[in-house]
Homo-oligomer: A and B are copies of this chain.
Amino acid sequence: SMDHIIIGGVAGGMSAATRLRRLDEDAHITVIERSGHVSFANCGLPYHVGGLIEDRESLLLQTPSSLGRRFGLDVRVGTEAVRIDRERRVVVVRELATGTESELPYDHVLLSPGARPVRPPIPGIERALSLRDIEDTDALVAASRPARTAVIIGGGFIGLELAENLTHRGIAVTVVEATDQVMAPLDPEMVAPVHDHLRASGVTLRLGSAVTAIGRDTVTLSTGDEDAPVEEVRADLVVAAVGVRPDTRLAVDAGLDTGPLGGILVDSRFRTSDPRILAVGDAVEKRDALDGEQVLVPLANTANRQGRMAADIMAGLPAHDRPVLGTAIVGVFGLQVATTGWNEKRLVASGRPHRVIHTHPASHATYYPGAEGMSLKLLVDRDTDAILGAQGVGREGVDKRIDVIATAMAGGISASALADLELAYAPQFASAKDPVNLLGYVADNLRTGLARSIQWHELDEAVADGAVLVDVRTREEHDSGAIPGAVLVPVDELRQRLEEIPAGPVVVHCAVGQRGHVAAQVLTHAGREVRNLDGGYRTWLAGTSARELVAVA
């Protein structure tokens, strides 16, 4: 019988161990876990900090003894794998409580050691807490009890989840983010409503600011502006949440190859440079679904999937991995923020020709109570009409649309063909033309050249080049906020007032892009050169407010 040693007993590691047992009843399977717990719900930890998940035990999906009983696994918590001796094919493990070391022989090792929170090199960083495991959670709960103020360094997924949860505990939270936006996977105009919502929920956002020192009960902030006075912010509690880095110490010490991004390098069958050692999860580099390049995607769906598949491979089955889209979602004070594939920033940086579509649909038929607005963004390959990515922000139904788009991407469905998806409709759940279908309509119009659009950040240049900007909303809408320089001609009066529109190229806009589309068609048929402002006033406002913030910061 085989000796399999699995290092790391949570998402990837334990998914592998249980599957391996189902595939091989005779194997000796040992799981080595440094922390005091296995199979815990990492993703639930922030909500225990906030008290929403009251019962700490509910985060422990399995225990060493339950795993022993059900799966005959030899699970050792509080035990660190300190070295892999590849010559002798043994893993050296140390019981942390006693310091006792011992050697475990192996046929295969699976590494699923995860990722470590980055600890920025700031004076006083010792005081900052991080959140990775149950022990960290206990420490955070304890530290947050007496705290009245907290500074969270980093506005990523975990930082924002903690901002929400510490706020729920009644703590005044400041999020300090070095870049000009939280949630790096989102483009600036999509993140603007997230910024607004965080502020409205009581969080103080300090964008474009860095923590330069952590004191006893304050942190020091700098905006990089030498002339600005140094600023101190109260912080009974400081959390470092500036991202994670693959935990590769063991792999590096064993002489295994790492990749350009600092993760363990594996092939499509999870084999490291030593074929007896496999690796999965947050610790490894993945292949990107769009360009096949190496990428880090520290997410649970992928870690779980890879773990199960690694077990198949260890058991001799023919599985192999597929590339990743990086589909992700986070809840932020009731707002759903989700992405899949590439964002515009990355497409621009890589020089890949693309189209951008913004819409602002409702989560379900607006005549049925409870419909919520959302913003969607679709990124499309200009040459092939392939979907390159999507982003969504809203209170409801964003998760569904991003999952549908991620599935469409996996199935090779083109952007225009989203129009043809047959999605389940009743008024509580969707619209007869689902938001995803509408993205397909818009994509199809752009693909065929029926419609031409212009992005919010291209508007200034177009106007400078002589374009006339026409607002086709109603007077009431126009009066309550308009783009400077826009001429008001409501869409329903357009046919009668064509001659009022000055000569030259025209940009039309409405609130979200839909009436603009109707107006653009009328003007095009009248012989005008027209572009429709993509996403309308709403996207323009979000985009320019994001840009102004950058200018101010």
Contact = CB atoms under 8 A, between A and B. Distances in A.
A317 B450 CA distance: 11
B22 A518 contact: yes
Contacts of A180: none
Interface stretch (A123-131, A223-231, A362-370, A499-507): A362-370
B304 A433 contact: yes
A44 B424 contact: no
Contact of A404 (B43, B404, B450, B491): B404
A197 interface: no
A382 interface: no
A422 interface: yes
A434 B305 contact: no
**Assembly stoichiometry (copies):** 2
Nearest to A402: B424
A549 interface: no
A299 B22 CA distance: 44
Q: How many of chain A's residues touch chain B, expressed as a range? A: 35 or more
B53 A368 contact: yes
A120 to B, nearest CB: 25
Interface string A38-68: 0001011001000011000011010000100
Contacts of A434: 301, 403
Nearest to A407: B407
Given A53-B367, A53-B369, A326-B422, 12 more contacts: A22-B518, A23-B521, A25-B526, A26-B525, A43-B432, A52-B368, A66-B492, A299-B425, A308-B441, A327-B423, A328-B426, A410-B422
User: Which A-B residue pairs are the 10 nearest by beta carbons?
Assistant: A411-B411, A25-B525, A329-B424, A300-B432, A69-B492, A400-B400, A22-B521, A58-B367, A407-B407, A399-B429
Interface of A: 11, 21-26, 41, 43-44, 47, 52-53, 58-59, 61, 66, 69-72, 157, 299-305, 308, 317, 322, 324-331, 336, 338, 340, 365-369, 399-400, 402-404, 406-408, 410-413, 417, 419-430, 432-434, 437, 441, 448, 450, 491-492, 495, 515, 517-518, 521-522, 525-526
